[in-house]
A and B are shown apart, each in its own frame.
Chain A
Amino acid sequence: MTARIGVVTFPGTLDDRDASRAVRLAGAEAVPLWHNDADLKNVDAVVLPGGFSYGDYLRAGAIARFAPVMDTLVDAAHGGLPVLGICNGFQVLTEVHLLPGSMIKNEHLHFVCRDQTLRVENAETAWTSEYREGEEIVVPLKNQDGQYVADERTLDMLEAEGRVAFRYVGWNPNGSRRDIAGITNERGNVVGLMPHPEHAVEAGFGPDSRESGRTGTDGLAFFTSAIKGLLASA
C-alpha cells in the first residue's frame, strides 16, 4: 500500500508544490486538493501548505477557513485524520479552531527568512514520531505574521499536556509566546507550525547542515512519520 497524502491549494497558496514534492520524496502519493471542492478524495492525511491564502485579507487564514474543503477537513480531523498545517496552513488551523491560539505580526515587524533551529518537544504526534524528543532540527522559516499568541491559561494547558510540539532554539524569530514554533491537538493528529519542513527534504535545496551547504533534510521526517503511522494502522 502507498499512503495518499492530500495537499490543499487555496487561492494565494505558494508552497503546495514543495509540499507535494516532500510527500513524494518521503514515499507517499501526493493528491492535489482544491479549496472549492469539499471532496477529500479518500486521502489518508492532509497538508495545509504555506503562502498567503486570499492575500491574508482580514487576518491570515481567516477567509480560507470558510472554504468548502475545510468543512470536510474539520470533520475528518475530529475523526483522527492526520493534518499538518505549515505557516499559513497553521494560521488556517487556528482560525478554524482545530488548534488554539493565533498568530499576529512579528514583534519586530520585519519579514523573516532564515534557517531556524527548532527543538522537537513532542515526538509522539502523527507528524513527529520519527524524531526523538529533544532533538534539534534546522528548517527554513519565512513569515510576517508568525508571532504565536494565546492567553496564559491556554499556554499553561499546552505546556501541561505536552502539546507544544516545537520550540525555537537560539533565537525567537517573531516574539512567539514561550518560544512556541508549533503545537498539536490533544489527540496528536493535528499539528501546526510556522517554520517550513517541506523546504528541507532534499540535499541541494535545503538549509545548510553541519556537513556542508544546502544539504539539510531535517524536514523529511515530518512526512515519513505520517506515512509510517498510516502504514502501521492500515
Chain B
Amino acid sequence: MATILVHVMPKPEILDPQGKAVGAALPRLGFDGIAQVRQGKRFELTVDGEVTDEVLANVRKAAETLLSNPVIEDVVQVKVVREGGCGCGGNGGGKGHRPAPENGAKDLLG
C-alpha cells in the first residue's frame, strides 16, 4: 500500500477569496507578519500494490480532470508517499512538531 499526495492550488491569477479571508483573520488573532495566504486542496490517494509508472500516470490524469478544474486551479504536486516515510524533506524536530498524516498508517491508527 502506498499513498499518493495530490496538491491543488488556485491559479496565481485567480483571486482566492478563502485565502484572503484567512489572511485577514490572522492579525486579528495576533498572528502578525503574514503577508498573504492562499488556500488549496490536498488529496491523499491510497493505492493497492506498487506505484508503477502506469498508476502514477493514471493519478496525474485524475488530478487534472476530476481533482482540479484547469480553468481555476493548478495541480502543483503529485507525490508518492510510501508507508513509514513522509518524503517531505527534514523531519521537523522542533518543539511542538507532530507527525504529519503521511507518516503512515501506524500513526493514523495510533
> Hey, which bits of chain A sit against chain B, CB under 8 A?
58-59, 62, 66, 94-95, 100-102, 104-109, 147, 149-151, 175
Contact = CB atoms under 8 A, between A and B. Distances in A.
Contact of A101 (B13, B15, B71): B71
A79 B18 CA distance: 39
A149 to B, nearest CB: 6
A104 B21 contact: no
B34 interface: no
A94 B69 CA distance: 10
B66 A104 contact: no
A80 to B, nearest CB: 25
Contacts of B88: none
Contacts, number: 36
B69 A59 contact: yes
Given A109-B18, A175-B15, A149 B72 contact: yes
B35 interface: no
Interface in B51-74: 66-67, 69, 71-72
Interface in B1-43: 10, 13-15, 17-18, 21
27 contacts: A58-B66, A58-B67, A59-B69, A62-B66, A62-B69, A66-B66, A94-B71, A100-B71, A101-B71, A102-B72, A104-B10, A104-B15, A104-B17, A104-B72, A105-B17, A105-B18, A107-B15, A107-B17, A108-B17, A109-B17, A109-B21, A147-B17, A150-B71, A151-B13, A151-B71, A175-B15, A175-B17
